[in-house]
Amino acid sequence: MSFTSKTDVLIVGAGPAGLATAWWLARCGINARVVDKRGSKVYKGQADGLMSRTIEILDSMGCGLSQRVSHESYLTYFMDIWTSEAGKLEKNQVVGASEGTHGSSPFRASTISQGRIERYIIDAIQDPSNLNPALPIDRGVQAETLQIDQAMTSEPDAYPVSVKLRYLSHEEANPSTGATSEAATSGLVGSNLMGESWESYATRNKGNEGKTEIVQAKYVLGCDGAHSWVRSQIGIKMEGSSTESVWGAMDVVPITDFPGIRRGCFIKSSAGGMLIIPRERGLSRVYVPYHEVNTDDESNKADRFDRSEVTLSKIKAIAQRMFHPYKFDFKICEWWSAYQVGQRVAERSQDATGRVLLAGDAVHTHSPKVGLGANTSIQDGWNLGWKLAMALAHEPSHTAKKESPAILATYEGERHPVAHMLIEYDRAWSKMFMGNTEHTSDEFLRRFMSFQPFIHGRSFKYPDGALISRQTSTQSVAKNVLVGESFPHAYVVLHANPQEWITTKIFRADGRFRIVLLPGDLSIPDQMSRAREFCERITTANGNEQSLLHTRYPYPFVKLSGVEVAEGQNPDSFIHYRRHPTSLIELITISYSTKPAQDVSVRFEDLPTAMRGQFDEQCFGWDYECAFLDARLETSCDGTAYERWGVDKQKGAVVVVRPDMHVGWVGDIEDVKELEGYFDNVLNSC
Amino acid sequence: MSFTSKTDVLIVGAGPAGLATAWWLARCGINARVVDKRGSKVYKGQADGLMSRTIEILDSMGCGLSQRVSHESYLTYFMDIWTSEAGKLEKNQVVGASEGTHGSSPFRASTISQGRIERYIIDAIQDPSNLNPALPIDRGVQAETLQIDQAMTSEPDAYPVSVKLRYLSHEEANPSTGATSEAATSGLVGSNLMGESWESYATRNKGNEGKTEIVQAKYVLGCDGAHSWVRSQIGIKMEGSSTESVWGAMDVVPITDFPGIRRGCFIKSSAGGMLIIPRERGLSRVYVPYHEVNTDDESNKADRFDRSEVTLSKIKAIAQRMFHPYKFDFKICEWWSAYQVGQRVAERSQDATGRVLLAGDAVHTHSPKVGLGANTSIQDGWNLGWKLAMALAHEPSHTAKKESPAILATYEGERHPVAHMLIEYDRAWSKMFMGNTEHTSDEFLRRFMSFQPFIHGRSFKYPDGALISRQTSTQSVAKNVLVGESFPHAYVVLHANPQEWITTKIFRADGRFRIVLLPGDLSIPDQMSRAREFCERITTANGNEQSLLHTRYPYPFVKLSGVEVAEGQNPDSFIHYRRHPTSLIELITISYSTKPAQDVSVRFEDLPTAMRGQFDEQCFGWDYECAFLDARLETSCDGTAYERWGVDKQKGAVVVVRPDMHVGWVGDIEDVKELEGYFDNVLNSC
Ligand SMILES: Cc1cc2nc3c(=O)[nH]c(=O)nc-3n(C[C@H](O)[C@H](O)[C@H](O)COP(=O)(O)OP(=O)(O)OC[C@H]3O[C@@H](n4cnc5c(N)ncnc54)[C@H](O)[C@@H]3O)c2cc1C
Ligand SMILES: Cc1cc2nc3c(=O)[nH]c(=O)nc-3n(C[C@H](O)[C@H](O)[C@H](O)COP(=O)(O)OP(=O)(O)OC[C@H]3O[C@@H](n4cnc5c(N)ncnc54)[C@H](O)[C@@H]3O)c2cc1C
């Protein structure tokens, strides 16, 4: 009735956080699996949007996800602020929905349901070009006990964490949502737009119902949401209880004469604020204030408010009141929900041994209206996944590590401050939201604006550590490419064949670090010789040492044995990656040109060989996709990337972009020693 | 052993022409099916690109295909012209690959293999929002006899064409390509990039091998390629035999020091011309001149040249000679082929009864290098499909038609001239291609340029007829929106929520005609009242007549009974269309604004109701996606659509866009009588 198994990484929870982490592990060929107690993925409702930074992440996965977003989602450039007073509803203000962040991303924040977002990442996990596309996602499987063998936690090759899984029956995995009764407590009620034929269980669950499995893992990740079971197993508490609010939310196709229903709207009234987010397929997400609960007094928390008393009609009635004097109705409600959330952050994101880590809602709970739940969860997983892959990729030459790898500790170090910022933002936002009209438009706006860069995934300011080195950087050479922040993406031109490429495509996520050389104009002999000198230095093996670029740090990820990708694969799938990298580091050159791209005199073939990628005589020849131009190209590129990055066109700069597209180091073209120091640090941390 | 069946339309051939036609029939809920004798779709090789006009078509299918193209394909903005003389290879010229057509399409011609293109259209056929997404595509099924019951051809509801189908065995449907021998005659040899696990047969074929089926059809389409079997059944000859050339073509990952291998290149030498097309996934398509055959003397045609003597090594050797003094090699060859084609056009595109029609290579054969085979075939199907759907959609109020509907005759009328132009172009191009260097660069360029608009799917100039009315048009009010040509697409701004929309998305292909009202600036009272007046006139029912816009011509397409779409559909599929249209005509308003989109004073809700789509009180409320602005919007729109279209901002204009996005009529805002006349004509032709 019970069986045992081993895996390097067990991820509990297949929501946005678990899936984003799993994507990296699949990409890098790590032995890992995901379990989720629910019988299906999310199809409807819940999170409703993607911030630009998250779309950048999806784009760098290289599977066409940003294109799917742009096809399926809806855009909102502007938000209208309305005030409802004395029976009148008036529009006071229009604000740019991404004002203050203009130009910070070539992608636009987009609204789309969580079900699609999960779909995108699941498809990306199964992309045949991954090193482990067969990474299992088992649904209807619940984690029930967790034990850590402390003695084993210092052995790198041991599997110190045991988790007991139980295979649920169909009924357990798909609890009745009381779809016939309007007062469904979970809010996961049936839709009248889509059928309820859930995605079938992963095959592995078939015939296993009721069985238990003991999984031994090197690492266990708690990506199991706000009520995280993993978190409670490792005894980590949530901090910062406060006033909790009860919200009603619904995805409806509105029938209304309210002017601006397809625009983003915030309606302020003495009863609180209502938020309207126009969505794909004619839907509107409507958030209404339902109730406020004070939970500071922990003892009577449970019985303060009975969530099951919320019904769709009640939510609708509140909305109708707030839309007055305009009519508001709907015949189609795809999803609705009522929930009660406070702003809380877990004390820590990992246990003392470093073998159990938390991500997503398991670390931070907050109200849904800020639209950051799924975004922050994906970004958590995005930060954690490649670090785990690096820590697990065996380097035979390394001596056995006794401590938990420092690279993993940077996860908490980098993401915990973000969780705190998220909660701070949500508090401010919620106050305005529930608050009445006494909050003036101006204050509202000021606050709203001050958080804009954060909402869009900017200003994260990861602290110095193994992967972020402000001390050895010279920030002034690339004023707007801030060390510790996400790279400011831009369009540039492929050198070998003038066509626009976005930098997220250049920095495609394959676990490699990029040295981005910005040498200025290579048709100027001086600048060409500085660039040549740089290439020389990073490709020359001095004495015993091997060349920084090509041989010192071999690409650590290998195809997971037993997983066949190329053979027998669907001949109709589109393959994205061809070469298996040989080095952990890739050199990307983006030179500058005052001339239009087609008139640039330096040809791709004239570039120093280091700039032309690794020549592969076995199969692929030169790599033509590592040299670029900041130049004008017909209507598609304006040649302003250097300007945007604050890089002097004579002086140039060098930037290190981490696998997650955060900037690790910035320096002068001559600062090769510091550059080498950065990578020594990184590798020592694994 | 034999069974019989009925279908409205039987399409023989599941290549680009058959699939594009089938898409319309699936979209419009027509009872139809496709059969193909080959056991699988195309995966590798053959056609290698999409012209901008074809991408516009894919985009208007509404399934995100243009986004898939932009993710998967490669771009080439420039072509290098090289001359090989006296052992030297020199670059003479760089030409814009779409020069002379600049701005004619927001999409860029893209290179991508035919296998992907077929995949896109097959996916679009199966899109759950279609009215008949279950339209069968049966493979391994060969059409073997065709009979027309002349007596029945004048009865609209009869099934006068009988076709005997034979279900092939696996071996017959997947003939050995001699993959082990390099000298495979068909050229469809195995690839070392992708496996050979062909898409499995359609379920319908299982267990049917060897059986025969008699299909009775209202219409049979011969989309069965250059050696069209249907064409020979109806006794239609190919005209214009001439010199035939034998070409070698290969898709390889080049290993070379040739500067510019990733750019489009044309190398001229005394041995003929070689063409290099950079492709997706690092591939290059290389076309080499192999041999010239004079087939004017029909009698000894067959034994003039033995195609099976061509081998990959021979093709490679020719390429190496032409690349000299540069090195050229490859380890990966995904596909190669050698073939012999003349430039020929079928005498006609239909038989005398009008019940059997031909499309694609069945009508025009030509050399592959012009990259127009698949494009023209898709455009043929695109022209034919909706007309067939219109002809078949039963209008109970109509009296039984005795003649073949005039709308179908416009297919031959519109596409046959295109076939002739294609062949003329191919002749010129082939001459230059096989010709030696005596053709000067200048002549080459002049010729090349003069055909550019045609290559990109422009200048088709469909003649006047039931669907094109130059006589009643006033072309001067929209100088660049030419009657009889494809609509010049542009980006405009959604009125209800400022965001950019491309007109291919607005004109999404659902079989409807669009009246595009270009009223100028609606904040100017005069222009608003002219627009109101126009709306009044097209929505008012005069006497017995019903309103042009809403009721006179009901949307003729209904969901095919027995095909369940909404119920039980994959809840993870993305639904594109929501409303079932009620009228065959949709009003699209694109007003002009000097102000940025966010500052436009006329709100969506202030527009005359006709401009706000059909109000659906059952479910959907107002349709927010039929009113647009030509206005500036941040960085994404520049508000120059009126300019581009040659429309005066005071005078305005009205344009009729057919379901296939060709312009049927152009006139003044006051020309409502002529507008009505246009639609009367259309409907009389069905
Ligand atoms: C009803 C609801 C409505 C929401 N509405 C909004 C909204 O309107 N806007 C918004 O921005 N966000 C909303 N959210 C929040 C958003 O969905 C989350 O922020 C986001 O999903 C967090 O991602 P995650 O991966 O951290 O956790 P989750 O998506 O919660 O995933 C956790 C997963 O872990 C699984 N799990 C838990 N315990 C176990 C166990 N012991 N064993 C196995 N599996 C387990 C769960 O089944 C779940 O699938 C809503 C969430 C819910 C639940
Ligand atoms: C080997 C080869 C190489 C090519 N290379 C190039 C190239 O390099 N560049 C380029 O632009 N174009 C190329 N082409 C041409 C391009 O593929 C065609 O222009 C395009 O496919 C035409 O589309 P179609 O739908 O008209 O016909 P096709 O794609 O030829 O489809 C016709 C279909 O009809 C089926 N069929 C035929 N007879 C019957 C029957 N009796 N019963 C049932 N089914 C039948 C066939 O199996 C076939 O699938 C090549 C074509 C071939 C065959």
How many other CB atoms are there within 10 angstroms of residue B595's CB atom?
Answer: 14
What residues of chain B lie within 8 A of the CB of A568, using their CB? 195, 197
For the cut 80, the answer to whether the pLDDT of residue B534 exceeds it is yes
| Atom of ligand 2 lying closest to residue B369 CA | 9
CB A360 near ligand 1, within 6 Å: yes
Q: Any idea what DSSP says for residue B582?
A: S
Q: Hey, are the CB atoms on B259 and A620 less than 8 Å from each other?
A: no
Name the percent of chain B lying above pLDDT 70.
85
Per-residue pLDDT at B242: 60
Instruction: Give the residue, A243 or B120, on which the prediction is more confident.
Output: B120
CATH code at position A285: 3.30.9.10
* A164/A310 same-domain check: no
* Smallest CA separation from ligand 1 atom 41, residue: A143
The beta-carbon neighbor of B68 closest among A64, A115, A619 is A64
The beta-carbon neighbor of A263 closest among B263, B497, B575 is B497
Per-residue pLDDT at B192: 33
pLDDT category of residue A562 using cuts at 50, 70 and 90: low
CB A639 near ligand 1, within 6 Å: no
Render the burial of A111-142: b for 16+ CB within 10 Å, e for the rest.
Answer: bbbbbbbbbbbbebbbbbbbbbbebbbbbbbb
For the cut 90, the answer to whether the pLDDT of residue A626 exceeds it is yes
Mean per-residue pLDDT for B408-414? Answer: 96
Element housing A74 (H / E) = strand A74-75
- For residue B398, the distance in angstroms to the closest alpha carbon of chain A comes to 35
CB A582, CB A550: distance < 8 Å: yes
CB A262, CB B604: distance < 8 Å: yes
Of A220, A558, A544, A585, nearest to A395 (Cα)?
A558
Per-residue pLDDT at B107: 92
Determine the Cα–Cα distance for residues A495 and A498; give it in Å rounded to an integer. Answer: 6
Q: Hey, are the CB atoms on A578 and B618 less than 8 Å from each other?
A: no
Instruction: Give the residue, B178 or A576, on which the prediction is more confident.
Output: A576
CATH code at position A387: 3.50.50.60
> Side chain identity at B670, as an amino acid letter?
E
Three-class DSSP labels, B132-157: CCCCCEEECEEEEEEEECHHHHHCCC
Per-residue pLDDT at B505: 97
User: Domain range for residue A267?
Assistant: 243-340
Per-residue pLDDT at B398: 47
Q: How many residues in total does chain A contain?
A: 686
Determine the Cα–Cα distance for residues A281 and A191; give it in Å rounded to an integer. Answer: 14
Per-residue pLDDT at A580: 86
| Beta strands at A627-630 and A491-494: parallel, antiparallel or unpaired | antiparallel
Per-residue pLDDT at B586: 97
Of B322, B324, B318, nearest to B338 (Cα)?
B318
Three-class DSSP labels, B382-451: HHHHHHHHHHHCCCCCCCCCCCCCHHHHHHHHHHHHHHHHHHHHHHHHHHHHHCCCCCCHHHHHHHHHHC
Mean per-residue pLDDT for A404-419? Answer: 93
The beta-carbon neighbor of A281 closest among B197, B578, B633 is B578
The beta-carbon neighbor of B64 closest among A41, A71, A569 is A71
Determine the Cα–Cα distance for residues B285 and B276; give it in Å rounded to an integer. Answer: 6
How many other CB atoms are there within 10 angstroms of residue B241's CB atom?
Answer: 15
CB A47 near ligand 1, within 6 Å: yes
How many other CB atoms are there within 10 angstroms of residue A527's CB atom?
Answer: 20
Residue B79 lies in a domain: no
For the cut 80, the answer to whether the pLDDT of residue A472 exceeds it is yes
Q: Distance between terminal CA atoms of chain A? A: 39
Of A451, A501, A368, nearest to A66 (Cα)?
A501
Residue to substitute in B11, B224, B336 for testing ligand 2 pocket (most ligand atoms within 8 angstroms of CB):
B224
CB A590, CB A488: distance < 8 Å: no
Element housing B339 (H / E) = strand B328-341
- For residue A331, the distance in angstroms to the closest alpha carbon of chain B comes to 5
CB A15 near ligand 1, within 6 Å: yes
The number of CA neighbours under 13 Å toward the Cβ of A411 is 33
For the cut 50, the answer to whether the pLDDT of residue B408 exceeds it is yes
Catalytic residue among A33, A279, A458, A514: A279
For the cut 90, the answer to whether the pLDDT of residue A292 exceeds it is no
Q: Hey, are the CB atoms on B76 and A618 less than 8 Å from each other?
A: no
Q: Hey, are the CB atoms on B620 and A253 less than 8 Å from each other?
A: yes
| Atom of ligand 2 lying closest to residue B230 CA | 41
Instruction: Give the residue, B370 or B495, on which the prediction is more confident.
Output: B495
Per-residue pLDDT at A250: 94
Residue to substitute in A10, A36, A146 for testing ligand 1 pocket (most ligand atoms within 8 angstroms of CB):
A36
To which residue do tokens 């993406």 refer? A489
Residue B454 lies in a domain: no
The number of CA neighbours under 13 Å toward the Cβ of A223 is 32
Per-residue pLDDT at A310: 84
Which two structure tokens, joined as six digits, stand for B459?
């200048």
Burial class (CB in 10 A: 0-12, 13-18, 19+), B606: middle
Residue A644 lies in a domain: yes
Q: What is the overall mean pLDDT for chain A?
A: 86
Instruction: Give the residue, B571 or B26, on which the prediction is more confident.
Output: B26
Q: Hey, are the CB atoms on A621 and B253 less than 8 Å from each other?
A: yes
Q: Is A287 designated active site? A: yes
Instruction: Give the residue, A359 or A686, on which the prediction is more confident.
Output: A359
For the cut 70, the answer to whether the pLDDT of residue A189 exceeds it is no
State in Å: Cα A225 to ligand 1 middle: 5
Instruction: Give the residue, B369 or A664, on which the prediction is more confident.
Output: A664
Q: Hey, are the CB atoms on A102 and B497 less than 8 Å from each other?
A: no
pLDDT digits (tens, 9 = 90+) for B303-321: 456 777 788 999 999 999 9
* B13/B129 same-domain check: yes
Burial class (CB in 10 A: 0-12, 13-18, 19+), B321: middle
Per mean pLDDT, which range of A9-23, A413-427, A616-630, B184-198 is the poorest?
B184-198
Residue B414 lies in a domain: yes
Q: Hey, are the CB atoms on A255 and B331 less than 8 Å from each other?
A: no
Determine the Cα–Cα distance for residues A483 and B420; give it in Å rounded to an integer. Answer: 61
Residue to substitute in A117, A361, A383 for testing ligand 1 pocket (most ligand atoms within 8 angstroms of CB):
A361
State in Å: Cα A361 to ligand 1 middle: 7
Give the best-scoring range by mean pLDDT among A37-46, A427-436, B175-184, B452-461: A37-46
For the cut 60, the answer to whether the pLDDT of residue A236 exceeds it is yes
* A384/A336 same-domain check: no
Per-residue pLDDT at A241: 65
To which residue do tokens 């009522």 refer? A338
Element housing B212 (H / E) = strand B212-222
CB A364 near ligand 1, within 6 Å: no
State in Å: Cα B623 to ligand 2 middle: 42
For the cut 60, the answer to whether the pLDDT of residue B300 exceeds it is no
Q: Hey, are the CB atoms on B598 and A77 less than 8 Å from each other?
A: yes
CB B656, CB B664: distance < 8 Å: yes
Per mean pLDDT, which range of A171-185, A618-632, B247-261 is the poorest?
A171-185
Cα distances from A363 to residues A57, A221, A230, A644, B594, in angstroms, run 21, 12, 11, 35, 49
* B500/B414 same-domain check: no
Q: Hey, are the CB atoms on B262 and A578 less than 8 Å from each other?
A: no
For the cut 50, the answer to whether the pLDDT of residue B199 exceeds it is no
Residue B216 lies in a domain: yes
Q: Residue A313: CB partners within 8 Å, gap ≥ 6?
A: A182
Mean per-residue pLDDT for B151-169? Answer: 91
Instruction: Give the residue, B160 or A189, on which the prediction is more confident.
Output: B160
Catalytic residue among A368, A498, A556, A608: A368
To which residue do tokens 């690409």 refer? A555
Which two structure tokens, joined as six digits, stand for B340?
């012999």
Give the best-scoring range by mean pLDDT among B68-77, B189-198, B290-299: B68-77
Cα distances from B676 to residues A651, B537, B548, B621, B647, in angstroms, run 67, 10, 7, 28, 21
Residue A84 lies in a domain: no
Residue B672 lies in a domain: yes
Burial class (CB in 10 A: 0-12, 13-18, 19+), B471: exposed
CB A181, CB A235: distance < 8 Å: no
Residue A79 lies in a domain: no
Per mean pLDDT, which range of A240-244, A301-305, B602-606 is the poorest?
A301-305
* A126/A227 same-domain check: yes
Name the percent of chain B lying above pLDDT 90.
62
pLDDT category of residue B143 using cuts at 50, 70 and 90: very high
Per-residue pLDDT at B673: 96
- For residue A189, the distance in angstroms to the closest alpha carbon of chain B comes to 14
- Give me the torsion for CA of A442, A446, A452, A454, rounded to 10°: -140
Cα distances from B166 to residues A580, B32, B35, in angstroms, run 46, 18, 10
* A62/A140 same-domain check: yes
Per-residue pLDDT at A591: 98
Query: How far, rounded to the nearest angstrom, does the alpha carbon of residue B231 sit from its chain's CA centroid?
Result: 21
Burial class (CB in 10 A: 0-12, 13-18, 19+), B618: exposed
Residue to substitute in A146, A224, A283, A341 for testing ligand 1 pocket (most ligand atoms within 8 angstroms of CB):
A224
The phi, psi pair for B569, rounded to 5°, reads -75, 155
Per mean pLDDT, which range of A308-317, A376-385, B200-209, B235-244 is the poorest?
B200-209
CATH code at position B678: 3.40.30.20
- Report the domain count for chain B: 3
Q: Residue B373: CB partners within 8 Å, gap ≥ 6?
A: B16, B46, B47, B361, B366
Q: Hey, are the CB atoms on B119 and A570 less than 8 Å from each other?
A: no
Per-residue pLDDT at B258: 95
* A675/A626 same-domain check: yes
* A13/A156 same-domain check: yes
pLDDT digits (tens, 9 = 90+) for A481-525: 999 999 999 999 999 999 999 999 999 999 999 999 999 999 999
Beta strand spans in A508-617 (E): 513-518, 585-592
pLDDT digits (tens, 9 = 90+) for B337-384: 887 767 899 999 999 999 999 999 999 988 776 778 899 999 999 999
Per mean pLDDT, which range of A357-361, B30-34, B96-100, B540-544 is the poorest?
B96-100
State in Å: Cα B361 to ligand 2 middle: 7
CB A525, CB A533: distance < 8 Å: no
Determine the Cα–Cα distance for residues B584 and A211; give it in Å rounded to an integer. Answer: 58
* A611/A668 same-domain check: yes
State in Å: Cα A49 to ligand 1 middle: 14
For the cut 80, the answer to whether the pLDDT of residue A245 exceeds it is no
pLDDT digits (tens, 9 = 90+) for A136-158: 999 999 999 999 999 988 887 89
CB B16, CB B233: distance < 8 Å: no
* A369/A508 same-domain check: no
Per-residue pLDDT at B196: 34
Q: What is the overall mean pLDDT for chain B?
A: 86
Mean per-residue pLDDT for B190-214? Answer: 58
Burial class (CB in 10 A: 0-12, 13-18, 19+), A72: buried
In chain A, DSSP finds a helix count (H) and a strand count (E) of 15, 29
CB B473, CB B678: distance < 8 Å: no
pLDDT digits (tens, 9 = 90+) for A97-135: 665 555 578 898 899 999 999 999 999 998 888 999 899
Per mean pLDDT, which range of A468-472, B59-63, B255-259, B397-401 is the poorest?
B397-401
What residues of chain A lie within 8 A of the CB of B494, using their CB? 262
* B514/B533 same-domain check: yes
Which residue numbers of B are catalytic?
A: 48, 279, 287, 368
Instruction: Give the residue, A70 or A242, on which the prediction is more confident.
Output: A70
**Which residues have CB under 6 Å of ligand 2?**
B 12-18, 35-38, 46-48, 114, 142-143, 187, 223-225, 229, 249, 337, 339, 360-362, 368, 371, 373-374, 377
For residue B592, list its beta bridge partners: B630
pLDDT digits (tens, 9 = 90+) for A158-180: 999 999 999 998 788 877 544 33
* B123/B17 same-domain check: yes
The beta-carbon neighbor of A497 closest among B257, B263, B603 is B263
